[in-house]
Amino acid sequence: MAQNDLLKRYLDAGLAFTQMTQQRAEAIARDLVKTGEVQREQAQSFVEDLLERSRRNTERMVENVRKEVRSQLASRRVATKADIARLERRIDRLTGAAKKSPAKRKSGAKRKSGAKKRPAPRSAP
């Protein structure tokens, strides 16, 4: 029984990095049946238990990785998809407003080509 606990602890630790396949779980069960640590009648439930543990461990690992990535990105102030989408909507609103209400010219007034208005010089403090 101590060997079973050791195997479960090993699987809990090791399976956090990979997902066990059905074939691998069945091979482990067959080996344990051969050594007498698991009875043949218990082998299928043992396989199902291994696969379920593997699935849960994989889900936990993926969630931990996602949390850490989010944390690292947030601490480095990297823009998220939501940030970019918000800025794109804002740009669309601003450019849409500019397109809808272009600057009006007085009728008959012509624009001087090449001449630009210069800002007033600043006074020295």
Q: Distance between CA atoms of 4 and 83, rounded to whole angstroms?
A: 49
Q: Which helix (H) or strand (E) holds 82?
A: helix 81-100
Banded pLDDT at 42 (limits 50, 70, 90): confident
Give pTM, 2 decimals.
Answer: 0.46
pLDDT tens column, 89-104? 999 999 987 776 655 5
Q: Quick one: which of 8, 17, 22, 23 has its CA closest to 53?
A: 8
pLDDT tens column, 47-79? 888 888 888 888 888 888 888 888 888 888 888
Q: Distance between CA atoms of 42 and 23, rounded to whole angstroms?
A: 17
